[in-house]
Amino acid sequence: MPSVLVVEDDQFVRSALIRHLTEAGHTVRSVGTALEALREVAQVGFDVVVLDLGLPDLDGAEALKMLRGVTDVPVIIATARDDEAEIVRLLHAGADDYLVKPFSVAHLSARMAAVLRRTRTGEFGGSGESAGDGVLRVGGLVVDPLRRVARLDGVALDLTRREFDLLAFLAGRPGVVVPRRELLAEVWQLSYGDDQTIDVHLSWLRRKLGETAARPRYLHTLRGVGVKLEPPQEEGGPR
């Protein structure tokens, strides 16, 4: 049974989330401050954290950074802030997903289920070059979905969970243009969503792969179509 930590200082909202999530089959614990959340996460293992931003002791964004220092548990931000720059900043800080208040418990449950599916699956099937051990090789890029390790030219890449999932999915289909809708469905487990989420994670991946959108090596975006991963031309030969 999935366990959830609800970090919410509004007692009414908190009680409603606890009731509905419990009815949905989750084991729920709740706290009202960031410091209590850090203490709970350090002492108890959770499958997912639902984190409000407007906490009385620390801003939720600061709490998120502190949580990421001690755990990689999936964090869904629950926020009344709908500013685009703020949302991007939260994704950069390590949030796995976000919901803008007010939202329905059904919507939250669906996002939680998607996050849990991603973290528990942890790998994607595909047709990338493999040595029979499940390891995907595209040029100098090596991705091991089972061990969740990726290396570029022998150097380990420091990827977040979502960055790894996106890279592994594309590496399993080298040279294939994957539509954005398919990326949302397979990597984010969402039937719909904002393309900005994909763009942000592609930007992070490009930086860690040592490339830019203007001068891509592995990741190529076809405007209005999708994304593909393939070896650099000098490694993969003429295309």
The reply to whether 35 and 109 lie within a common domain is: yes
pLDDT of residue 160: 86
Q: 41 with 136, same domain?
A: no
Does residue 212 share a domain with residue 185? Answer: yes
Whether 116 and 57 map to the same domain: the answer is yes
Domain of 27: which CATH number?
Answer: 3.40.50.2300
Last residue of a domain, one of 76, 93, 121: 121
Are 106 and 173 in a shared domain? no
CATH of the domain at 216: 1.10.10.10
Distance, in Å, from the CA atom of 128 to the CA atom of 82, rounded to the nearest integer, reads 39
Contact 75, 119 (CB under 8 A): no
In whole angstroms, what is the distance from residue 21 CA to residue 223 CA?
40
Give the predicted TM-score (pTM) of the model: 0.55
What per-residue confidence (pLDDT) applies to 69? Answer: 76
Residues 215 and 162 in one domain: yes
Residues 68 and 88 in one domain: yes
Q: How many angstroms separate the CA atoms of 61 and 90, rounded?
A: 7
Give the per-residue pLDDT at 105. Answer: 80
Looking at the structure, tell me whether residues 43 and 96 fall in a common domain. yes
Range of the domain at 73: 3-121
Looking at 86, 121, 156, the residue that finishes a domain is 121
What distances in angstroms separate CA 110 from CA 53, 94, 113, 163, one per listed residue? 20, 20, 5, 21
Domain co-membership, 116 together with 16: yes
Do 140 and 72 reside in the same domain of the chain?
no
The 10 Å CB-count burial string (b at 16+, else e) for 60-96 is bbebbeebeeeeebbbbbbbebeeeeebeebbebbbb
Q: Tens-of-pLDDT digits for all 239 residues of the chain?
A: 678 999 999 999 899 899 988 888 888 999 999 999 988 988 887 889 999 988 999 887 888 888 887 777 889 998 887 777 787 788 777 888 888 888 888 888 888 887 777 665 444 444 444 444 578 889 899 998 878 889 999 899 998 888 899 999 999 888 888 898 888 888 887 766 667 788 888 999 999 999 998 999 999 998 878 899 998 875 444 44
**pLDDT at residue 194 in the model:** 64
Question: What sign for the dihedral angle of Cα 126, 129, 130, 135?
Answer: negative
Tens-place pLDDT, residues 67-100: 887 777 889 998 887 777 787 788 777 888 888 8
Do residues 80 and 188 share a domain?
A: no
Assigned token pair, 193? 């969503």
Give the chain's domain count: 2
Same domain, 13 and 108: yes
Of the residues 121, 149, 172, the one at which a domain ends: 121
Q: Are strands 3-7 and 27-31 parallel, antiparallel or unpaired?
A: parallel
pLDDT of residue 206: 93
pLDDT at 91: 79
